[in-house]
Chains A and B, each alone.
Chain A
Amino acid sequence: MGQEIKKSLDLHGVVCPLNFVKTKLALETLNSGEWLEVILDEGDAMLNVPRSLKEEGHRIVKVTPLGQTYSVIVEKGA
């Protein structure tokens, strides 16, 4: 993959919308264009968090299934 992951956040077991809030706070510590990895649960978390990130102008770079969770790499928007 093209870039290093600046920060990683395990949100397994964290419910909506707290998982999104934590993702957003983590992104605030990054510069635009940098990558954050979050671990999200399958189901509601995977349906809601990526969509909310899109609405906030961030971009999903890669999603990898890890059993009942997913690794989601997010690029911070401008």
Chain B
Amino acid sequence: MAQSNLDLVALKKVGMIQQKQKDFFALRLHAVGGDFTAEQLRKIAEVSEKYGRGQIHVSTRQGMEIHFVHFSQLEKARLELEEAGIAMGACGPRVRIVVACPGESTCRWGIIDTKKIARYLDQAYFRQDTPHKFKMGVTGCPHNCAKATENDLGVMGGILPGWKRENCTGCDLCVSSCPVGAIAQVDGEYRLDESKCIYCSICTSNCPTDAWYPAKKGYILWIGGTMGKVPRLGTKLKKLIDSEDELYETIEKVIRYYQQHGRKRERFGHMIERLGEDKVKEDLLDGSGDQKKP
């Protein structure tokens, strides 16, 4: 096979990216939430030595890339990886691999099962065509370690606190430790301003007598985040979403909306800027709660 016969666009679709050394390619591998088994890592190491130069790059999306694979070796390397259950990643204008923090499985702050959601998003959308690249991130709580707000679509776990008067001893710790000043005490009554609350669960975790308790656990959906040349942080689509089904239905709407309205090579966030945040929210939330019109 001569190099001139290569279909570079088709190769990009499956994560094979031509390097500036034109005879060589980077093999971008599939991953979900940056999880690999030790066995997979051994295979990746083996393939990188056999077909590349033993050079592996850890990507910013928790994936792996094997660099310096000669174009004549691409298919062999790919087959060997796939036989070991390691699929190829994606490049170009499509849904990329999903990033996630460890979430509730191991983190003391984790509110949601990030890996489960990441696997769902991966199975439902990975490699689907979109106007420009489309990145998704799942983070367990508003500490935002997995940077949900820097992704085109970000899912974040959250807790809406409730207050039980009978448990409260009036220590004021909540007022002093709420990072956004959403809690105020008036005549011995503690009140939450939900418009300020970021659902971080610091009050419910810290409260010495559990007067603040998790009244509702759910998901915050961020849309249109991006880094790159023109960065933009994601927009919070609505208040806490409390069912997984509603989360997935809303995500489905969001992705279809972008596929329908995005211009070629226009990132989702920039599309939102063009159409107007209010208009996009209205279109996406039509008849689904928050912004329902009378």
Contact = CB atoms under 8 A, between A and B. Distances in A.
Interface of A: 46-47, 50-51, 54, 59-65, 70, 72
A54 B177 CA distance: 14
Interface in B206-251: 206, 208-209
B176 interface: yes
A62 to B, nearest CB: 5
Given A50-B206, A54-B208, A62 B172 contact: yes
Contacts of B171: 60-63
B136 to A, nearest CB: 29
B169 interface: yes
Query: Which 9 pairs, one residue from A and one from B, show the smallest C-beta to C-beta distance?
Result: A60-B208, A63-B176, A63-B172, A63-B173, A59-B208, A51-B206, A60-B171, A60-B173, A46-B177
Interface residues of B, number: 14
Interface in B172-223: 172-173, 175-177, 179, 202, 205-206, 208-209
B176 A46 contact: yes
A52 B179 CA distance: 17
Nearest to B172: A63
Nearest to B170: A62
Given A61-B171, A70-B176, 13 more contacts: A46-B176, A46-B177, A50-B173, A50-B177, A50-B206, A50-B208, A51-B205, A60-B173, A62-B171, A63-B171, A63-B175, A63-B176, A72-B173
A65 B175 CA distance: 10
8 contacts: A46-B176, A47-B179, A50-B206, A54-B208, A62-B171, A63-B175, A65-B176, A70-B176
Contacts of B170: 62
Nearest to B175: A63
Contacts of A60: 171, 173, 208
A54 B206 CA distance: 7
Given A60-B173, A63-B171, A47 B202 contact: yes
Contacts of B206: 47, 50-51, 54
A54 to B, nearest CB: 6
B177 A47 contact: yes
B267 to A, nearest CB: 34
Nearest to A64: B172
